[in-house]
Chains A and B, each alone.
Chain A
Amino acid sequence: MEKVEILAVGKHPEIMKTILRLINSRPEWNGTIAYSADEALTNSQTIAFNVVLLCAGLDEAEARQIRAHFKVPIVQHYGGGSGLLYAEVYQALGV
């Protein structure tokens, strides 16, 4: 079964590591993290993402850049461990 590819973009290294760990704890998901819009766009050249999460620290200009580039569901992620993450992704996927 093909995994759901999830890109999380944010600025806080420790939080991003936690998000990556939580995403990858689901066998059907695969996570990638990027620390800037430019890095996110570069990643999109090699991975066909299904969902993009906008995480803490991104400024409005970078969020706009991401929204303009990606043609998949883009979700503002509100951090809190696994509390909201799974529901945010499920909702974006229309589950």
Chain B
Amino acid sequence: MSQIVYHAANTRGKADLGWLKSYHTFSFGSYYNPGRMNFGALRVLNDDTVAGGKGFGEHPHDNMEIISIPLKGGLKHQDSMDNVAVISDGDIQVMSAGTGIFHQEHNDDQHEAVQFLQIWVYPNVLNVEPRYDQLTLNKADRHNKLQQVLSPNKDDAGVWIYQNAWFHLGDFDKGLNTEYELKAKGNGVYVFVLSGSIKIDGQILNTRDGFGIWDIDKFNIEVLENAEFLLMEVPMSF
């Protein structure tokens, strides 16, 4: 029997620092909700908007797989491994923080806001050597099909992380259906709607709603309105 959890967009935690507006699906920073700590190995799903010319100063990370997906604008990354890069809509960035890394992220534009998702996944191994990677995705490859953008395998499509996780992006036209078959037993899938409207297991999901489903081998996604969404398959126990 499948299990589900539904997180309406307006139930997320919110931080408004002026230059940063962030919505937290799970407890983060000063938002603490013991009932919203994680979905399996998925620990952080932040929906961030950073004002022009602003950003996060240097701060540390360790023992976490950190995935950034820009939705609008460009995000400049700089880290203690001497990586300097700008990622923008269509790119995906991954950092395995391992034994420890310092980095900073800033809006690459002085005027226009940048929007991006920051996603943290618990790793399946601690204290690895830190690593950084980024990839430009072909957005056409997700039109009316699921595009794999992350996996545990170095030679598979998308970026890779130290966890038995797979991420897919989809950009579907109204009226279509698609099926997602889980890759690994014991995994669940957290669905985050970027725009539009879909239905899964009887639950209608609109823009920025989240929905987790587990104890299931596959499920159907019905597209009610043109929709972009992210599927994050992660281990439920780790």
Contacts and interface: CB of A to CB of B under 8 A. Distances in A.
A82 B59 CA distance: 9
Contact of B97 (A58, A76, A79, A86): A79
Contacts of A11: 99
B60 A14 contact: yes
Contacts of A82: 29-30
Given A18-B59, A78-B43, A84-B28, A57 B127 contact: yes
B34 A90 contact: yes
Contact of B60 (A57, A59, A79): A79
A75 interface: no
A78 B34 contact: no
Interface in B133-192: none
Among B63, B97, B120, the most chain A Cβ lie within 10 Å of the Cβ of B63
Interface residues of A, number: 24
A56 B62 contact: yes
Contacts of B27: 87
Interface string A32-76: 000000000000000000000001111100000000000000001
Interface residues of B, number: 25
Contacts of A87: 27-28, 32, 37
Nearest to A12: B100
Scoring A10, A14, A82, A83 by chain B CB atoms within 10 A of each residue's CB, the highest score goes to A83
A91 interface: yes
Most chain B CB inside 10 Å of its own CB: which residue of A15, A78, A79, A80: A80
A47 B10 CA distance: 43
A95 interface: yes
B118 to A, nearest CB: 9
A20 B62 CA distance: 15
Which among B27, B37, B60, B66 has the greatest number of chain A C-beta atoms within 10 A?
Answer: B60
A91 B37 CA distance: 9
A86 B127 CA distance: 22
Given A14-B102, A56-B100, A79-B100, A86 B30 contact: yes
A58 B126 CA distance: 9
Contacts of B100: 12, 14-15, 56-57, 79
A95 B60 contact: no
16 contacts: A15-B60, A15-B100, A56-B62, A56-B99, A76-B63, A78-B63, A78-B122, A79-B61, A79-B62, A79-B64, A83-B28, A83-B29, A84-B43, A84-B120, A86-B29, A95-B34
Interface of B: 27-30, 32, 34, 37, 43-44, 59-64, 66, 97-100, 102, 120, 122, 126-127
Interface of A: 10-12, 14-15, 18, 55-59, 76, 78-84, 86-87, 90-91, 95
Nearest 10 A-B pairs (CB), nearest first?
A56-B62, A79-B62, A81-B59, A12-B100, A87-B27, A15-B60, A80-B61, A56-B100, A15-B100, A78-B64
